[in-house]
Amino acid sequence: MDDILLDPFKRLLAHICTPSVIRDEEGRSGLAQCWGELEQSGFIDALLPESRGGAGLSLSEVFPLVVACGEAALPAPFAETMVARALLDKRGAELPTGAAIVLAPPSPVVPLAAKASHALVTANGRLSLIAMNAGASDPFRAGGYADQLKGETLLEVAAGGIDLQAWAAALAAAQMSGMMMRILDMTLRYANERQQFDRPLSKFQAIQHQLAVGAEYAVSAHTAAAIAMSGQHFDPLRAAAAKVCAGEAASKLCAIAHAVHGAIGVTEEYDLQIYTRRLKQWALAFGNERYWADVLGSARLGTEAGTSADFVRLHLGNME
């Protein structure tokens, strides 16, 4: 995506999604107060064809927008609604005005569901858009629901082979990669500013090693997420690889970030816990790394690819 599109989107997020706004949203129910501005911005129709008032962008072109949502810890289902609008529009469905939509395949927790008005669910080979009832709050206090989403069915369309869980997992991995970039940046800045024995923490070799390892995990998760959002649609195996990488990286990076920050990192007043709580929530959603590793392992055993390297080349590479 050109900076001419990404830069104004990041400026919008910086304006409507400050840490104080995020904290405020955790304490209130209903649509995020910034939802109206997100809709009016036009970015939410980026995947729609130009003939339908959108920008006609591809998944890879909107990938930076999804990453930016995670980096900002946006308390609204922007990425999910953007994808759902394009998916349902392609099937000729008319959406309710102002609908904030989450993708909701079976999952222990559905992030941002408490900040959505509708959910896209799947059953019997069909996709259904439901007007959600309130659900049980998730244990991460991050605007999700921790039970099966229920509500009035407003419309149904043929799934057409869509694996909704893979789509949700790929979007989760992309937003997790943005959160990890933010956590890494916060940790680097803290290590450079915090003095111990009259020198910055970043001058100690042990800290340097931890920061380097954290950066490796963040970059690997970002790369895998980018591959999952390449091509014309979300591929289940590339989504699986992205969610595995994101889940493993999240666990390692959270541990490193909190170790470097020490006790201050878990305090309510400090911003780090805003991002690590959400990162843990997303890691659990739509299948954790073990679940998706099983999916990849089963696919590898069932393929005729001669070697694992061939399997990776044929099924997990960038499609563009």
Q: Is the pLDDT of residue 4 over 90?
A: no
- The C-alpha atoms of residue 246 and residue 133 are separated, in whole angstroms, by 30
* CB burial string 138-149: b at 16+ within 10 A, e below: bebebbbbbeeb
* 168 against 137, higher pLDDT: 168
Degrees (nearest 5) of the Cα angle 242, 247, 252? 125
Degrees (nearest 5) of the Cα angle 78, 83, 89? 120
- Largest pairwise CA distance in the chain: 65
Give pLDDT, residue 285: 96
- The C-alpha atoms of residue 129 and residue 157 are separated, in whole angstroms, by 9
Instruction: Indicate if the alpha-carbon torsion angle 249, 250, 255, 261 is positive or negative.
Output: positive
Residue pLDDT, tens place only, 119-159? 999 888 899 999 988 888 888 999 999 988 888 999 999 88
Type of residue at 184: L
- The C-alpha atoms of residue 242 and residue 235 are separated, in whole angstroms, by 11
Q: Are 173 and 179 in contact (CB under 8 A)?
A: no
**Lowest mean pLDDT, pick from 91-100, 107-116, 288-297:** 91-100
Q: Could you say which of 3.30.70.330, 3.40.50.300, 3.40.720.10, 1.20.140.10 is the CATH number of the domain covering 165-315?
A: 1.20.140.10
- Distance between start and end Cα atoms, the chain: 14
Give pLDDT, residue 41: 92
Residue pLDDT, tens place only, 229-280? 998 889 999 999 999 999 999 999 999 999 999 989 889 899 999 999 999 9
Q: At which residue do the structure tokens 């392609």 appear? A: 90
Q: Is the pLDDT of residue 180 over 70?
A: yes
Q: At which residue do the structure tokens 């878990």 appear? A: 266
Res. 76 pLDDT band, cuts 50 70 90: very high
Res. 160 pLDDT band, cuts 50 70 90: confident
- The C-alpha atoms of residue 111 and residue 9 are separated, in whole angstroms, by 22
For residue 227, give both structure tokens: 């591959």
- For residue 302, give Cα distances in angstroms to 27, 119, 258: 47, 33, 40
Cβ neighbours for 53, distance < 8 A, ≥ 6 positions apart: 45
Res. 82 pLDDT band, cuts 50 70 90: very high
Give pLDDT, residue 254: 96
Give pLDDT, residue 320: 66
Give pLDDT, residue 261: 94
**Lowest mean pLDDT, pick from 51-55, 77-81, 109-113, 164-168:** 51-55
User: 97, exposed or middle or buried, with CB in 10 Å at 0-12, 13-18, 19+?
Assistant: exposed
* 2 against 188, higher pLDDT: 188
Give pLDDT, residue 211: 95
- The C-alpha atoms of residue 91 and residue 85 are separated, in whole angstroms, by 10
Give pLDDT, residue 69: 97
- For residue 274, give Cα distances in angstroms to 68, 157, 196, 253, 267: 16, 37, 26, 14, 10
3-class secondary structure, 196: strand
Residue pLDDT, tens place only, 7-50? 999 999 999 999 999 999 998 888 999 999 999 999 999 999 99
Residue pLDDT, tens place only, 184-239? 999 999 999 988 888 898 889 999 999 999 999 999 999 999 999 998 889 999 99
Give pLDDT, residue 16: 94
**Rounded to 5 degrees, what are φ and ψ at 112?**
70, 5
Res. 319 pLDDT band, cuts 50 70 90: low
3-class secondary structure, 102: strand
Q: Is the pTM of this model over 0.85?
A: yes
Length of the chain: 320
- The C-alpha atoms of residue 227 and residue 316 are separated, in whole angstroms, by 8
Res. 281 pLDDT band, cuts 50 70 90: very high
For residue 229, give both structure tokens: 């959002």
Domain segments of the chain as ranges:
3-162, 165-315
Q: At which residue do the structure tokens 């830069």 appear? A: 7
As a whole-number percent, the residues of the chain with pLDDT over 90 amount to: 71
User: 235, exposed or middle or buried, with CB in 10 Å at 0-12, 13-18, 19+?
Assistant: buried
